[in-house]
Structure 1
Amino acid sequence: MYRDGQGHSRDVSRERVDAILDEHGLPEKTDDTITSRARLHETLETIRERGYAVNDEEELAGLRAVGAPITPTDSDVLGAISVSGPVSRLSGETFAETLPMSVIEVANVIEVTVETDVSE
């Protein structure tokens, strides 16, 4: 489960995550890939708490990403938005604070737009 997958999985039950893992496993793609169920469940809990997912070279060495779910009010996860880039461009405060807040803001704008379109 990488980038968007972690963002999408915010509202997925532990049992469903385990079923997905039973079928697909957690193949190691880099030295930073999450390969343990326990660590993945901890990461998913952190994502639920803060509202966004971070991929720090878990899928591809040298690539970082931040993703957030798009969840209109009273709705399941509609999708996710993510921004990825090279470690050289996404580092320090940009990666730790600025980018996550920007991704959440854009996800919120999309949620409001979807809600407005549905109510019209």
Structure 2
Amino acid sequence: MTDNPEHNIQIQVETRYLDGQSDPGKARFVFSYTITLQNEGSVGARLLKRHWLITDANGKVQEVRGDGVVGEYPYLQPGEAYQYTSGTILETPVGSMQGDYLMEADDGDQFRAPIAPFRLAVPGVVN
């Protein structure tokens, strides 16, 4: 793993509560999240793996590891962006996610692109 300034993947997240797929009476709260990765480095890089920590309001943590995202291994040239949408289910109306992507740059270096913690919340539950 390197800490090379040429490797700079910026990540933005938007979340949505999916009311129609949720069932609060059965402790089922469904959220979607849209991730945008932007390669602000100077070398191309491919996303190889994902790692998520998903925490609900009871402190229950789900750890998710896997290859790629939504069945893809996006490759980003410098300046390019990639966007995808996925989802998760919580047992509480509020939770959070954080993690990282394992990337491989054109120069063969592997590095992690961190995903800062973000909140999942049913609208109106948290101010």
Q: TM-score range by the shorter chain?
A: 0.3 to 0.5
Using the size of structure 1 for normalisation, the TM-score is: 0.32
**Larger relative contact order (C-alpha < 8 A, sep ≥ 6)?**
2
- Bigger radius of gyration among the two: 2
Task: Answer 1 or 2: which has greater helix percent.
Answer: 1
Task: Answer 1 or 2: which has greater strand percent.
Answer: 2
